[in-house]
Amino acid sequence: MENAFGILAAKWRIFRRPINLKLENVDRVVKACVVLHNFLKTEAENAPGVISAYCPPGYADRVEDGELFEGEWRNEVDLSSSAFGDVAASSTRNYTQDAFRVRESFVEYFSSVGSVPWQAEATGLN
């Protein structure tokens, strides 16, 4: 998840800070950015011999023989900024039901109509 969101934040400035929108508009913005991300990735994969400027080789994190190699997106995003800083743990370490519902709606969307052909293979779920 960190890898996916990191790439989005590196490419789409709106994710580099807290999003100051109504909840329903945040949902739309996130979905629109992910659709654009998937479109750009898919178009690059369907163009033989073309190296994608959007997400070139080595841009995303990858695991080889059990070793993590961090992607270049990490050099483009200030991970210490307010949008990426550590979140202080609450006393109960529980998140709200609203946050749970938002997360579950994203899981459902990106596991169904929002998925891309290479998703299952990339996540090892095939």
Q: Which domain holds residue 90?
A: 2-123
pLDDT of residue 6: 85
Listed in order, strand segments (DSSP E) in 1-126 are 62-64, 67-69
Q: What are phi and psi of 45, to 5 degrees?
A: -70, -25
Number of domains in the chain: 1
pLDDT digits (tens, 9 = 90+) for 71-123: 998 888 776 654 555 555 555 656 677 778 888 888 888 888 887 777 766 66
pLDDT digits (tens, 9 = 90+) for 30-81: 999 999 988 888 887 777 766 778 888 888 888 888 888 889 988 887 766 5
- The amino acid sitting at 32 is A
For residues 9 and 29, is the Cβ–Cβ distance under 8 A?
no
Closest CA to 17 of 73, 84, 89, 74: 84
pLDDT digits (tens, 9 = 90+) for 2-11: 778 888 888 8
